[in-house]
A and B are shown apart, each in its own frame.
Chain A
């Protein structure tokens, strides 16, 4: 499989994502500068974390107008899988590819710690290989990760099973205490209606090898590869 890892001025998790795809998963991946305008030949897109455009104006607000994002819109509309991590999630929300927005953490603090993540829906290209009941131990590192959507948006996410991941405690319960940023309904990650575009605030690429303390993040990438192998093969 061939992955595109987008690079904006200020992206800083691009190399980590590239490393996981190439060296841990053993698939091909290429960094794609934001001024590129084609995704021809790629099977999946990863929008990595960082501080694109210095988070000026709002997180992700300026990056969404980069030329490559037009290609991402087309790619997503054609059913291609797109995964936004941290700043990538914020960019996808600003671009309207995912509903809602990510605002300043309730605590006003930049939170940098490991959290527990419950997978709330296993029927997506990003969660298919995560075992039922398995809690993911992943790091977060963000100042603007509080997920906000109006009541109608939240209802739609819930009924459409678009909430993919929630912050939980070690017992798997979505408590207020286990919510690091004040996200509504403890939302850590969601997908769009057609389920091919997803975003999450935690960093699976920083927890994909045991040497880093957790390899739980790899389950998300493996889910995506497995989905691609089924679906790209089907299309061929």
Chain B
């Protein structure tokens, strides 16, 4: 995947100060051209008293231009704007073997009388504060174009707040 990708690789890690008493989360932002290099940078940070706890969890993003920190945690979304919630489900004409298997499992567990189960996808998209109607139109088009396949799926789009 990286063979032609010369853009920088952004890695985010949840880290914790080893010697800090407060035990608080700290988000490190590493910009680099290769994974090897990023590892060595992390080791440097570790030697300065920072320990990697769980790689891959993103808690905030640091803007390259302004240096400002933008939270990515869902609870902080109200501060940055709106949120689109999209639910994609297999349409009724399509046999959904996953849904059928889940329905069977529920029946076997004693949940009698349940109807069809559909297993689908849920997407959340962060949006800047602004024209909600314009975003609805744009995302509606995106749902038809890429986020769902109208041949086999239905979708439901909501924008909050």
Q: Write the chain B residue with the least CB distance to A65.
A: B146
A149→B93 CA distance, assembly (Å): 9
Known A-B contacts A10-B1, A101-B152, A103-B152; A61 and B146 likewise in contact (beta carbons under 8 Å): yes
> Does B139 lie at the interface of the complex (its beta carbon under 8 Å from any beta carbon of A)?
no
Whether the Cβ atoms of A182 and B4 lie closer than 8 Å is no
From the candidates A10, A65, A149, A182, name the one contacting B151 in the complex (CB within 8 A).
A149
Main secondary structure of the interface of A (DSSP, over half): loop
* Complex interface bits, A100-121 against B, C-beta within 8 A gives 1, otherwise 0: 1101111110000000000000
Interface residues of A (CB under 8 A from B): 9-10, 33, 35, 57-58, 61-62, 65, 93-94, 100-101, 103-108, 146, 148-150, 182
Interface centre among A57, A61, A93, A103, by most B CB within 10 Å?
A103
* Complex interface bits, B119-161 against A, C-beta within 8 A gives 1, otherwise 0: 0000000000000000000000000001101011000000000
Having A61-B149, A62-B146, A108-B97, one finds 4 other A-B pairs with CB under 8 Å, namely A10-B1, A104-B97, A106-B97, A149-B151
Known A-B contacts A100-B151, A103-B152, A148-B151; A35 and B98 likewise in contact (beta carbons under 8 Å): no
Whether the Cβ atoms of B98 and A108 lie closer than 8 Å is yes
A163→B101 CA distance, assembly (Å): 30
User: What residues of chain A lie closer than 8 Å to B1, measured between beta carbons?
Assistant: 9-10
Known A-B contacts A10-B1, A65-B146; A101 and B151 likewise in contact (beta carbons under 8 Å): yes
Chain B interface residue count: which class? Answer: 10 to 19
User: What residues of chain B lie closer than 8 Å to A65, measured between beta carbons?
Assistant: 146
Known A-B contacts A35-B4, A101-B152, A148-B151; A108 and B101 likewise in contact (beta carbons under 8 Å): yes
User: What residues of chain A lie closer than 8 Å to B114, measured between beta carbons?
Assistant: none
Whether the Cβ atoms of A57 and B4 lie closer than 8 Å is no
A150→B95 CA distance, assembly (Å): 11
A146→B97 CA distance, assembly (Å): 11
From the candidates A33, A103, A105, A146, name the one contacting B4 in the complex (CB within 8 A).
A33
User: What residues of chain B lie closer than 8 Å to A94, measured between beta carbons?
Assistant: 149
Q: Write the chain B residue with the least CB distance to A10.
A: B1
Whether the Cβ atoms of A58 and B149 lie closer than 8 Å is yes
> Does B109 lie at the interface of the complex (its beta carbon under 8 Å from any beta carbon of A)?
no
Known A-B contacts A33-B4, A100-B151, A148-B151; A182 and B146 likewise in contact (beta carbons under 8 Å): no
The 9 closest A-B pairs by CB, nearest first: A101-B151, A101-B152, A9-B1, A108-B97, A106-B97, A103-B152, A101-B149, A148-B94, A58-B149
Distance of A64 from chain B, by nearest CB (Å): 8
User: What residues of chain B lie closer than 8 Å to A149, measured between beta carbons?
Assistant: 151
User: What residues of chain B lie closer than 8 Å to A148, measured between beta carbons?
Assistant: 94-95, 151-152
User: What residues of chain A lie closer than 8 Å to B93, measured between beta carbons?
Assistant: 150
28 example contacts (A-B, Cβ-Cβ < 8 A) are as follows A9-B1, A33-B4, A57-B147, A58-B149, A61-B149, A62-B146, A65-B146, A94-B149, A101-B149, A101-B152, A103-B90, A103-B152, A104-B97, A104-B98, A105-B97, A106-B95, A106-B97, A107-B97, A108-B97, A108-B101, A146-B95, A148-B94, A148-B95, A148-B151, A148-B152, A150-B93, A150-B151, A182-B97
